[in-house]
Every structure is written in structure tokens, then in C-alpha cells.
Amino acid sequence: MEDGDSDAPVGGSSTTTSRHAFEDDAGKTVFSVSIIENTEEEYGLYVWPCSIVLAEYVWQQKTRFAGANVVELGAGTSLPGLVAAKLGADVTLTDDANRVEVLENIRRVCDLNNLNCNVLGLTWGVWDISIFSLRPTIIIGADVLYENSAFDDLFSTVAFLLQSSPGSVFITTYHNRSGHHLIEFLMVKWGLKCEKLLDGFAFMPSHKASNLSGNIQLAEIVLNCEPVKVIQNAYINFKGNFISNWRHLRIKAKIKASHW
């Protein structure tokens, strides 16, 4: 079955299983990943183009991901994270703790592909006890920059994870929408910088790219190594420096005092 093709729904069901193949330089399939999708449910149960692009990037960066400690944020159907697991990474797949049906689908997909991944409910900007045990060397997220109101919580979570694991990187694919300037501002606010920016279709095999649409970009984001004062001055007129933002968020967080 060709990459991205789906088994036909059975008995009028909206649930399908799509298969995504990953090939060597000669065009021979090395492995495939099967994804359970539900076209009538919310966006978390569908494989979006950004997920396919990020999964292909993970595959092409196979030596980088082999043996890495990987956390996928907003995993949804989890295609990129599952590819990382196929490559030998230690993978934790996360999605909003309130989206029980998505988390259950992630577990089913792991079982379907015979992969042993940790599945974790993680809500951006909510400092539950589970986030403190994560020490990723690579954080990934496909199409997590889709809702402007969630950007601040996302970047605060990314910044926390990067701080927890020095030298780590956040790799994300996203549609280049009107929120680009907000993304730039929030990266400065949370002490982050874009280290690499690629056209999402530049590295895609032609037969995969032809099935996708949109203006998709891939970014690698890391902590900004500039002195703290430089970062503070960049956004002191907004919500203060990185530390004050962090304390403000901790006060708002819905966790017990004992977690601190």
C-alpha cells in the first residue's frame, strides 16, 4: 500500500487505518507506520500534512534520533514520535490531559505498531507533577502553532523542557500563517531562538510532497545563549523578564503546593 493510503472504513465507520512508508535512498521501504484515524472526530485524530513532513524529517535525521530521549508535544496521531521510536529513540508521546480519547488512541496506535512508548497527559502551561520527570534531548511537535491563544502556554512549556535538559532542541513543523510575528515575540519573551528554518517541502520525496498542500515550514528552536539582561531589555515593557514570567505562570498553575 502506498504511503498515506488508508484501509476503507468498515460498516460505515469513520475510523480508518493509514499506512506511512519510509524508504531508503534506493526507494525501498525500510519500515511503515500504521495510524488509526477518525475523520469525524476532532483534529487530534487525523494525520495532518505537518505531521507527515515532520515524520519524514525525523526519518532523514535517523542517526540523530537513534537512542535520543524524545518528547512529542500535542502528539495527536503521533506519526513523528512513532517514527522516532522505530529508529530506536526513547519516546514519550503527550497530548492535552483532558483529551482522554486522543490519549487512548495513542495507546492503541502504539500497540498496533508494536512500539513501547510512554503515553502522558500534558497540558501546556499547567505544571503538573508529570512534566518534572521529563528530560528530553529532542522535543518535537507537528502543527502545534495553530491557535494563537495557545502559543504562550506552548512556548512556556517548551522553554521549561529546554531548561530542564541543557543542549536540547525543539523541532516543529507549522503552516506559515498570520501569527508569525507573535511567534517571534514569544520566542524572545521565553528566551528562545530559531536555529534553523527550512521549507517543509525542500526535503520531502516528490511522491509524498505531491499529496500535500500549504506553506509548511520546519524550525529548530533552542534556548537563547545571550546574557539575561539582553533578553530582559527586549520585552521588559510587556510582561517583564523571563524569571518574572515564570513566577507569574507558576502562581496561575493548577497544581498543589506540594509539587513545588
pLDDT at 119 over 70: yes
Which pLDDT value is given to residue 49? 94
Tell me how many domains the chain contains: 1
Expressed as residue numbers, the domain containing 22 is 17-225
Q: Is residue 247 part of a domain?
A: no
Strand boundaries in 113-188, DSSP class E: 118-121, 138-142, 169-175
Query: Could you tell me the pLDDT band of residue 177, with boundaries at 50, 70 and 90?
Result: confident
Q: Is residue 205 part of a domain?
A: yes
Q: How large is the average pLDDT for residues 200-215?
A: 92
Strand boundaries in the chain, DSSP class E: 5-6, 15-23, 29-38, 69-72, 90-95, 118-121, 138-142, 169-175, 192-199, 216-223
Q: Is residue 234 part of a domain?
A: no
Q: How large is the average pLDDT for residues 188-194?
A: 94
Cβ neighbors of 13 (< 8 A, separation 6 or more) are: none
What CATH number corresponds to the domain at position 51?
3.40.50.150
Q: How large is the average pLDDT for residues 33-45?
A: 79
Cβ neighbors of 28 (< 8 A, separation 6 or more) are: none
pLDDT at 244 over 70: no
Longest dimension (CA), the chain: 62
| pLDDT tens profile 157-167 | 999 999 999 99
Is-contact 242 231, C-beta < 8 A?
yes
pLDDT at 233 over 80: no
Q: Is residue 258 part of a domain?
A: no
If residue 49 lies in a helix (H) or strand (E), which one and from where to where?
A: helix 49-60
| pLDDT tens profile 126-165 | 988 889 999 999 999 999 998 889 999 999 999 999 999 9
Which pLDDT value is given to residue 15? 86
Q: Is residue 241 part of a domain?
A: no
Which pLDDT value is given to residue 45? 86
Which pLDDT value is given to residue 91? 98
Query: Could you tell me the pLDDT band of residue 183, with boundaries at 50, 70 and 90?
Result: confident
Q: Is residue 49 part of a domain?
A: yes
Q: Is residue 83 part of a domain?
A: yes
Q: Which three cell numbers stand for residue 244?
A: 518574572
Q: Is residue 2 part of a domain?
A: no
pLDDT at 76 over 80: yes
Instruction: Look at 9 and 136; give whichever has higher pLDDT.
Output: 136
Counting every residue written for the chain, the total comes to 260
Determine the straight-line distance between the first and last CA of the chain, rounded to whole angstroms: 50
Q: How large is the average pLDDT for residues 2-25?
A: 72
